[in-house]
Amino acid sequence: MARRRLDLTFPPRQATKPITYHLVKDFDLTPNILRAQIQPGQEGRMLVEVVGPREAIDAGVAFLEKEGVDVHPAASDICLDEDECVTCGLCTAVCKPGALTLDSESKALVFDKDKCVYCEACVVACPRRAITLTF
């Protein structure tokens, strides 16, 4: 079994197609949608983790590309440089899954990596550029 994180960009008209249904039914993959931003008539984005045999993942990716979906490998790790961090807390204001929070007493930054969905919101927000994603 292989596991791969994919960053999918859907062209506007493709957005509502039941892509994940096909990944399950036709390729026997288990997709886990980490984050999706899909609105009718607009370009959509989905962060998905797929689990299945390597060949099946490759075939699934080929199918997505044929359907006009832009497929990129998504970040596999996120790194917080504590020397650069000034504990301002701004990243916590954009981290929806609650991976970045402030300790209720000390207000120090607490990073729970397990909750991270690699959405990059904190990377863009951090005024110290202290958070980076690796692929």
Partner 1 sequence: MAKSWEEINARIASGDAVVLTAEEFAGLAAEDGVKAAAKKVDVVTTGTFGPMCSSGVFLNFGHSDPPIKMQTITLNDVPASGGLAAVDTYLGVTEPSLVKGIEYGGAHVIEDLLRGRAVRLKSTGPGTDCYPRTEIDTWVRLEDLNQAYFFNPRNAYQNYAVAANTGDQLIYTYLGPLLPRLGNATFCSAGALSPLLNDPTYRTIGVGTRCFVAGAAGYVAWEGTQHNPNQNRDENGVPTAPSGTIAVMADLKKASPEFFSAATFTNYGVSSFVGIGIPIPVLDEDIAATLALTDADLTATVIDYGVARRSRPALGQVTYAQLRSGSIEIEGKTVPTGPISSLPTARKVAAEVKRWVAEERFTLAPPLEQLPQPGTQAFKPLEIRSEEAI
Q: Please report, as ranges, the residues that interact with partner 1 according to CB under 8 A.
A: 86-94, 101-102, 106-108, 121, 124-125, 127-129
Site for ligand SF4 in 63-82 (CB under 6 A): 78, 80
CA–CA separation, 102 and 116 (whole Å)? 15
Does residue 122 bind ligand SF4 (CB under 6 A)? yes
Least distance from ligand SF4 to the Cβ atom of residue 85, Å: 3
Per-residue interface string for the shown chain with ligand SF4, residues 84-113, x marking contact by CB under 6 A? -xxxxxxx--xx-x-xx--------x----
- Closest residue by Cα to residue 50 from 80, 82, 26: 26
Does residue 36 bind ligand SF4 (CB under 6 A)? no
CA–CA separation, 34 and 13 (whole Å)? 22
